[in-house]
Amino acid sequence: MSDATARATPSALPPSDAELAEWRALSREEQLARYREVLQHPDCQRISTATQSDIRAKAQQQADREC
């Protein structure tokens, strides 16, 4: 595996052209393994009372501050 494909991970953000090419270069099995790894991270195991709308609104506020 090259250094480029070693960095390809699932993300909530739209990928750049280079990131998309790196992701597509991975086998289906490797893509699934990367998804599983990300989804098993402790941050993904927390229970939240926030709704999807709450999460989107907070993310939009953070994005607006960064612009």
Q: 23-51: per-residue pLDDT in tens?
A: 999 999 999 999 999 889 888 888 889 99
Give the tens place of pLDDT for each residue, 7-19.
688 887 888 999 9
Q: pTM above 0.85?
A: no
Residue 13: per-residue pLDDT: 84
Residue 3 has pLDDT above 70, yes or no: no
Domain map (residue ranges) of the chain? 3-66
Residue 24: predicted pLDDT: 95
Q: Give the ranges where 1-67 is alpha helix by DSSP (H).
A: 3-7, 17-25, 28-39, 52-66
Of the chain, the end-to-end C-alpha distance in Å amounts to: 36
Residue 53 reports pLDDT greater than 90: yes
Asked if 15 contacts 34 with a C-beta cutoff of 8 angstroms, the reply is no
